[in-house]
Amino acid sequence: MRDGDDVEVAEVSRRTWLRWTAALLACHIGIGVWLAVVTPWTTDEPTYATAGRLLRAGLVWDTGVARLHGPLPFYANQLAARLGVPDQPLVDYRVAGRLGMLVFPLLGALVTWWTARRWFGRRTSLWALGLYVTCPVLMAHGSLMGTDTSLLPFQGLALLACWQWLTRPGIAALLALGGAIGAALATKYLGLFLVPICGIAVVIGIARGVRPRLLWSRSSDGLAARVADAVAAAVLVGGVAWVTLWACYAFRPPGYDAAAIEPMSRFFASVHRLPGAATWLRVLPEPWVRGVDYMKHFSEQGGSAFLCGRVGPGFAGYYVVALLTKLPVAFLAVLAAGCVWRRPPWPRHALLLTLLGIAIPLAYLSLVQVLQIGLRHLLQVVPLLVLVASRPLADWSSSAGRLGRLRIGVAACALVVAGLAAFHVRAAPRYIGSFNALVAEPWRWFSDSNLDWTSVTYGADPDEQALRARHPAAERVFPQSGPRLGEVVAYAPDLSAVLAPDGRVAHWLWPLTPTDVQGAWLAYRVDDAALQRAVDNATDADRPRRQLDRATALATSGRCDLALRVLDGAGADPRALHVRAYCAAVAGGRTASAEAAALRNALGRFDLVAADPTAPPPLRAIASLQLQRWGDTRSILQELARDRPLATEESMLLAIACRTLQDHTAGIRALEAIELPDGDPMRPRVADLLDELRQLRAESEIIRRRIGG
């Protein structure tokens, strides 16, 4: 039985091995720091930064923000502040928080490097480290204040410890395995995958001849002895993982009280009903259980996923397509070779652990818990793919063989390196939204964090600014913006119709080809000829809607005569009535009337309504909300409230705008003023939004008291 030290490729010297390792790690650190500086805020980072600052202030998990995931990533985003970086306000904390998080991708690289060394030898470990350091999805998320890369080092340590125990059973390996699993659980809930991965590997290993021998002497080899030893090993690993998890919480929070806490997810509601649940759940940290419950609830809510132009509750092939499009073609080629290459051979049990580590998370996230909002949720399989891909590169670059074979192998390695370099030249520094050469128009494939994850909470999107600088006359369109003629700028995820299932812009812009692209921002020059081509190329079922889009654009651009002729082919769509009514208002000289403003809103021309000071305030408030001008919506409705009581729908609009602006008190005040009779269908919606705002206000007050933010 081999342990990985006896390899079949020529090895590099120890000095060369260490020098290349140091150089690659230095590159990894340098790239991480560079990306931490140049990458703008991403969507979840402000939340995670707040969680870290809360825990630093007092190690109290009394807010939902601090319970989203395990505490280790939140501790880490405070490391730079502890090491001397000024304790900046949150708005300026982006780089400081990210510098602390670099410890996780660095440890992940070291664990991957050492695993490859143990399994395949020094040469393979260098290739594995090189592929890890240059992997774009690891680079993209390793430089962020997220939680996705925090799991990588502990998963790698757990798999390595499990392999060590299967190879040479001993208590030290079990202790390491338990510690790694406990630490993985303290990063994010996906660490739970390690339980079935290692459990199945151990069961298969024992069935294939592994003898644990913890409780029984070496002469005892019966079934009872093997079962008893396996149970003892599981108890030891579970106990160490449990202590490690509590240690990561500093033994501070209480245990989970199932009798006092109302579960959020259906899964935990069923767990609460199990006999003895109140007792055995109490041994787990309350914030950890509540965090897992929240994430399970979040996934149970469903929602929409977008893949290759289709919207649905989820797609079985989502993550496979993401891996095939987000990883460089050169990496995919050598990965395919690694699946069939025989040298260096896999050590016993190593291939099994690798396959389980890839298959179980992939199958669960694709088929069971459908959470398809980015490849980042499957990031833990990428280091395992790196191990598979590094094997053929080590063999090809080895001198153990004929000279002709060596030359071919070196040429193949050079092609892989050149392919990776070409990818990085094209993608840097926008690695979050980078795709390989197989994808020409990525916005037609994905609309989530695979495509873009930039947050505008603290400033504008630099890609949008760059595109708008090149097209200063272009008009920004939003999910519900209606067709129009002229130059427009759109945010690519708005074209997926995920956030707005009936979004107009997702329909009328989808068949058009952008004239300019900057990251996830697209510029279009829309004219009647382009809309006519969309009609000509449409299917029979879709052609009436395309005709209506064209008629709407013509009518709101002043070409009502042609718009009415186009409407003859628009079928019986009720939205055609709005176009005819608007054309009639224009013909009758009523363009400045409330009727015309209402019709413009109905046709998605919110820009015209928001810019019209004579339009009724409620209509301007609706238009401003659709244009994501939350402050204008709040100002208009608050001014209107001074003159008369707001209608229910107007109060709801005001509350929604205030929620986005984090003006929770004003939103609560607007909803509390609503008086609805029993049985009114709006009562549940008002009550839900009011409860949400009250909870947000309570948590904001806790945050303000603790960290002043």
- The per-residue b/e assignment along 577-616, b for 16 or more CB within 10 angstroms, e otherwise, is ebbbbbbebbeeeebeeeebbbbbbbbbbbbbbbebeebe
Q: What are the distances in angstroms from CA 1 to CA 60, 347, 353, 644?
A: 49, 8, 16, 84
Distance CA 322, CA 661 (A): 34
For residue 605, pLDDT beyond 80: yes
CA 679 to chain centre: 40
Q: Which residue has the tokens 């980072």?
A: 45
Mean pLDDT on 514-539 = 93
Poorest-pLDDT segment among 163-177, 496-510, 522-536? 496-510
**286 neighbors 260 (Cβ within 8 angstroms):** no
For residue 409, pLDDT beyond 90: no
Q: What is the number of alpha carbons within 13 Å of residue 707 lying toward its C-beta? A: 22
Instruction: For the chain, report the end-to-end CA distance as a whole number of angstroms.
Output: 58
Q: What are phi and psi of 254, to 5 degrees?
A: -75, 170
What integer pLDDT is reported at residue 243 of this predicted model?
Answer: 97
Distance CA 185, CA 5 (A): 31
Mean pLDDT on 152-170 = 93
Residue 79: exposure state from Cβ atoms within 10 A (0-12, 13-18, ≥19): middle
Residue 339: exposure state from Cβ atoms within 10 A (0-12, 13-18, ≥19): exposed
Mean pLDDT on 618-647 = 93
* Of residues 520 and 92, more confidently modeled: 520
User: Which residue type occupies 211?
Assistant: R
**Going by DSSP bridges, is the β-strand pair 475-476/486-491 parallel, antiparallel, or unpaired?**
parallel
> How would residue 277 be classed by pLDDT, with cut points 50, 70 and 90?
confident
Mean model confidence pLDDT for the chain: 87
Q: Which DSSP helix (H) or strand (E) runs through 533?
A: helix 528-537
What integer pLDDT is reported at residue 551 of this predicted model?
Answer: 92
Distance CA 538, CA 546 (A): 7
> How would residue 401 be classed by pLDDT, with cut points 50, 70 and 90?
very low
Q: What are phi and psi of 488, to 5 degrees?
A: -130, 160
- C-beta neighbour count of 552 within 10 angstroms: 29
Interval 547-560: pLDDT, tens: 999 999 999 998 99
Mean pLDDT on 700-708 = 80
- Tell me which residue of 111, 113, 100 sits closest to 142, measured CA to CA: 100
DSSP secondary structure, 545-583, as one string: HHHHHHHHHHHHTT-HHHHHHHGGGSTT-THHHHHHHHH
For residue 1, pLDDT beyond 50: no
- C-beta neighbour count of 404 within 10 angstroms: 8
- Six token digits for residue 199: 């459990």
- Six token digits for residue 144: 């962020």
- The per-residue b/e assignment along 636-645, b for 16 or more CB within 10 angstroms, e otherwise, is bbbebbeeee
Interval 558-585: pLDDT, tens: 899 999 888 876 666 778 889 999 999 9
Mean pLDDT on 131-156 = 94
**45 neighbors 97 (Cβ within 8 angstroms):** yes
* Of residues 707 and 570, more confidently modeled: 707
Distance CA 79, CA 100 (A): 5
Share of the chain above pLDDT 70, in %: 91
Mean pLDDT on 487-492 = 93
Share of the chain above pLDDT 90, in %: 51
- Tell me which residue of 188, 161, 166 sits closest to 176, measured CA to CA: 161
**157 neighbors 180 (Cβ within 8 angstroms):** yes
Q: Which residue has the tokens 């502890």?
A: 82
Q: What are phi and psi of 426, to 5 degrees?
A: -80, -35
Interval 321-343: pLDDT, tens: 999 999 999 999 999 999 998 88
Interval 456-484: pLDDT, tens: 666 678 899 999 999 999 999 998 999 99
- Six token digits for residue 672: 């509390």
Where do the H-state alpha helices sit in 249-381? 266-272, 277-280, 286-300, 318-326, 329-340, 350-363
**Hey, which residues does 42 pair with through a beta bridge?**
454
Give the predicted TM-score (pTM) of the model: 0.89
Radius of gyration of the chain (CA): 29
3-state helix, strand, coil in the chain (%, to 5): 60, 5, 35
Distance CA 158, CA 153 (A): 9
What integer pLDDT is reported at residue 93 of this predicted model?
Answer: 77
Residue partners of 28: CB distance under 8 A and separation at least 6 = 105, 106, 109, 132, 133
Q: Which residue has the tokens 């009903």?
A: 273
- Six token digits for residue 358: 């890839």
**240 neighbors 174 (Cβ within 8 angstroms):** yes
What integer pLDDT is reported at residue 541 of this predicted model?
Answer: 85
Interval 72-119: pLDDT, tens: 999 999 888 766 555 555 556 788 889 999 999 999 999 999 999 999
Distance CA 285, CA 270 (A): 19
- The CA-CA-CA angle for residues 263, 268, 271, to 5°, reads 125
Q: Compute, in degrees rounded to 10, the torsion defined by CA atoms 175, 180, 183, 185.
A: -110
Mean pLDDT on 515-531 = 93
For residue 135, pLDDT beyond 90: yes
Residue partners of 150: CB distance under 8 A and separation at least 6 = 72, 73, 76, 101, 104, 187, 188
For residue 2, pLDDT beyond 50: no
**Going by DSSP bridges, is the β-strand pair 521-526/516-518 parallel, antiparallel, or unpaired?**
antiparallel
